Amino acid sequence: MAPHVKRAFRYRFYPTPEQAAELARTFGCVRKVYNLALAARSEAWTQRRERVGYNATSAMLTAWKRTDELAYLGEVSSVPLQQCLRHLQRAFTNFFAKRARYPRFKSKRNSRAGAEYTASAFRFRDGSLTLAKMSDPLDIVWSRPLPEGAKPSTVTVSRDAAGRWFVSLLCEHPPVDPLPATGTAVGVDMGLDQLLTLSTGEKIANPRHERRDRARLACAQRKLSRKREGSANRMKARFRVARIHARIADRRRDHLHKITTRLVRDNQTIVIEDLAVGNMLKNAGLARAISDAAWREFRDLLDYKAGWYGRRLVVADRWFPSSKLCSACGSVREKMPLCVRTWDCDCGATHDRDVNAAKNLLAAGLAASACGAGVRPQRNTPGGLSAMKQETLRREPQESRSLRGGRSQDPVWAMNAASVRLAKP
């Protein structure tokens, strides 16, 4: 029997005025304790080269509660305050492991707030959840049932910028059963005109959710800019802007979930390209459209769903010339501007740019799959290179080769696709 895994189940709830006030006080205290602990740890290191860990900050919290200035910290549940110190410890651990940047202070102006409760600070019985310092259970909208017999180990309460309240319950859950194996594989080319183009020739339109609400968003932002700083009307206008942003994000996320679920359900192997989205966003002319397409979120959804359901996700190297490579003869064009949507090869084949790229990605992914997981491109140049590969290297600018350490010359690299790596499940 497969071991259980921990999964979070997120629901929306509607607090009473008393519950909202209690949670707001808790969020404020969590932010205050986090900032005080971060300042203490930073000061100890910069001034005395002294490392301060979780145990020391926990002792500091006890001392802070005894002062007149911070006595209000004792009016809320102590569990969220201790949990925020653990979160700070994890942030420093990730920083020293070079997985994240240095922890930052939490801003009061940031509308996103949250608090985490462990099992000692909440009661969950018969589908009702009651938090510490509260007499009544939360009014939760159970949009989907919890697993049978599930008992939450931690509960995280949060409020987004639009003022919506959410509760996330972390439970032990049996692993998802893998889907029946299929023999189908698909290459996926991501774009802006068409959100996705499949190697089968199917094109999935880009809904452009942000563009559809751009006029409403601009109008709300103009009204916000005219409101006096710190006034109640400015607060109302800010919530209107946040609600429009939340509507855009919700529709985009729902659309991506439906697409990724369909791709994972229908295909055993999915091949996508590794896009440097962060670098692309530096293009002022395309940054807004790229952000609206949410390529990074699409890849993240595919990644974990493929791992859940026993599918294989193959990610092609970002330098693989999927658009410039002819899927019929294997020749590579020297240049391919974005304005070129269809092109003719010297072999007589006429290509749709996106469909051709998806076909090349599929061929590259199948070539890597045939070699098994763990295939990595070679960094030296073996003898007996084909004329096509030599021509590709000759035409390629020197600075492009130096950026990625040289083009791979793996003999198994079908159709110039050696720069393919398998994503870890």
Q: What is the DSSP letter of 34?
A: H
Place of tokens 């919506």: 164
Q: Count CB atoms within 10 A of the CB of residue 48.
A: 9
Answer whether 341's CB lies under 8 Å from 303's CB.
Answer: no
Name the active-site residue from 22, 116, 210, 273: 273
Name the active-site residue from 22, 210, 354, 410: 354
Answer whether 258's CB lies under 8 Å from 305's CB.
Answer: no
The token pair that represents 303 in the structure block: 């990644």
Helix axes 295-308, 232-266, angle to 10 degrees: 50
| 22 catalytic per annotation | no
β-sheet bridge partners, residue 159: 113, 165
Place of tokens 């599930």: 150
DSSP-H helix ranges across 309-386: 353-371
- Tell me the three state secondary structure of residue 267: coil
Place of tokens 């979930």: 257
| 160 catalytic per annotation | no
CA distances from 339 to 104, 336, 353, 387 (A): 42, 8, 10, 29
Place of tokens 């931690």: 154
Name the strand (E) or helix (H) holding 159: strand 154-159
β-sheet bridge partners, residue 364: none
Q: Round to whole Å and give the CA distance between 225 and 237.
A: 9
Q: Round to whole Å and give the CA distance between 322 and 412.
A: 17
Answer whether 118's CB lies under 8 Å from 79's CB.
Answer: yes
| 334 catalytic per annotation | no
Q: Round to whole Å and give the CA distance between 133 and 76.
A: 7
249 Cβ partners below 8 Å, 6+ apart? none
Name the active-site residue from 116, 189, 292, 410: 189
Q: Round to whole Å and give the CA distance between 80 and 423.
A: 36
Answer whether 310's CB lies under 8 Å from 331's CB.
Answer: no
260 Cβ partners below 8 Å, 6+ apart? 298, 301, 302, 305
By CB neighbour count within 10 A (0-12 exposed, 13-18 middle, 19+ buried), where does 126 fall? exposed
Q: Round to whole Å and give the CA distance between 117 and 279.
A: 38
As annotated, the active-site residues are 189, 273, 354
